Amino acid sequence: MRDGTSKKRDAYKKGHRSEWLAALCLRLKGYRIVARRFKTKSGEVDIIARRGNLILMVEVKARNSVEEAMEAVTHTTLRRIESAGDLWLAKQQDYASLSIRYDLIACLPRRWPVHIPAIYMP
């Protein structure tokens, strides 16, 4: 039986790998990754990506199915992403010209990540 520390370490590594793969997926779609694991006191955004004036606030979930990944994104999670994203946006000089979208990338076992646009509309 494994202790809690090794389970946490494995989950951390899995999350890190999933975020790396999600970032690669976005880069191949033409997005520039402008921040990863952007943390504030009020929340965290896994990936912030940009293409032109479109900013993506991306939550990455590693689950066995897309449905499980979508169910794992709770209302509280979305509020935390929005709060952290708002702080990041406030620091941008071209804030007024930017469009913001909240997306989910589901990382599934032995499959290419599934990008689900506009999971949340504030």
Mean pLDDT, the chain, rounded, equals: 93
Tell me if 60 sits within 8 A of 105, measured CB to CB: yes
Q: What is the pLDDT of residues 73-103, one digit of tens each?
A: 999 999 999 999 999 999 999 988 999 999 9
Q: What is the pLDDT of residue 2?
A: 58
Cα 99 to Cα 2, 15, 31, 92, 121, distances in angstroms: 45, 27, 14, 12, 12
Phi, psi of 109 (to 5 degrees): -60, 130
CATH number for region 4-120: 3.40.1350.10
Angle at 40 between CA 37 and CA 41, to 5 degrees: 140
Two structure tokens written together for 109? 């076992």
